[in-house]
Homo-oligomer: A and B are copies of this chain.
Amino acid sequence: MEITKETLLEMYRKMQLIRYFEARTKELFAAGKVPGFVHLYSGEEGIAVGVCSALRQNDYIGSTHRGHGHCIAKGGDVKYMMAELYGKETGYCKGKGGSMHIADFDLGILGACGIVGGSIPLSTGAALHFKYNGTDQVAVTFFGDGATNQGSFHESINLAAIWDLPVIFVCENNKYAESTSISSVMKVEKISERASGYGVPGITVDGNDVIAVYETTLEVVERARKGKGPTLVECVTCRHQGHYEGDSGTYRTKEMVEECKKRCPIKRLCTFLQEEGFSSKKEIEDIDKSVEKEVEAAIEFAEKSPWPKPEDALTDVFVSPYY
């Protein structure tokens, strides 16, 4: 596998876009601009970007409560995302969804989900649709370590296994589910060990190494496209902040968070890019600037966008009119 400069820079750009989007979202939440529950993806960018860079546009991803990163990585427009976080009419979901419910069908983004484990069966169903129609598309379902203790995970991966569905189960193992440490809720060392109970390959990869994630994904996606079935890919990572905005995060020591930040996937790629001579400092700074500009423009767009009309609350329940 050869990875081009273009791919690497695009991965860098997307990771930075996520990071900056989340940093600004954090501020906007604190400022009362973004209501509701907000779960930031900062620190985990290597996974979404590594995985989505190995996908085609017509492949689909299903996401979680911590979904901003997935959306951006799959090509989501931060303008419509930010407008959605604001609850504006111009948002991806016309303000009906908010942070935990963003989708963009045209880009293969099946949608975020407020229910832990809730979207795993849906993505599996997307893969069923691909198999039913004999296309070579694949679906990816993202979920956390905590979600692997849900029945929906178990049932879905088994379904995918027996039907050889083209779906990749990507577990983002950040070692915590809210305040709960993974070691207190499962006895296995690696989540990928759970794959064998379904007759599915399980792989553990460093989620903060975007290149490793990308390469692993390429392989398992290839396998899936060939009709050889699903893979469970565990990506080990950590989050840079609390579970959601408002969480004081006392269950992790400062040292743990600092250690986590040292493993930052963006810094790592940045160093790699420069050390391996893929790009200059200047190139990188240009990207950083463009990313900032994009997010600031998105905020402006969101700010200026109109609120939805109250009566729209009753539309979109059905395709046919509301009863």
Q: Which residues of A line the B interface, CB within 8 A?
A: 149-155, 158, 161-162, 184-188, 193-200
Contacts and interface: CB of A to CB of B under 8 A. Distances in A.
Nearest to A184: B162
A162 B162 CA distance: 28
Contacts of A184: 162
Contacts of A151: 150-152, 154-155
A188 B193 contact: no
How many copies make up the complex? 2
A162 B187 contact: yes
Contacts of A153: 154
A193 B197 CA distance: 6
Would you list the 4 A-B pairs with minimal beta carbon distance, nearest first?
Answer: A151-B151, A187-B199, A154-B154, A194-B197
A198 B197 CA distance: 10
A120 to B, nearest CB: 11
Nearest to A161: B187
Contact of A196 (B161, B193, B199): B193
30 contacts: A149-B154, A149-B155, A149-B158, A150-B151, A150-B155, A151-B151, A151-B152, A151-B155, A153-B154, A158-B185, A161-B186, A161-B187, A162-B184, A162-B185, A162-B186, A162-B187, A186-B198, A186-B199, A187-B198, A187-B199, A187-B200, A188-B196, A188-B198, A188-B199, A193-B196, A193-B197, A194-B197, A195-B197, A196-B196, A197-B197
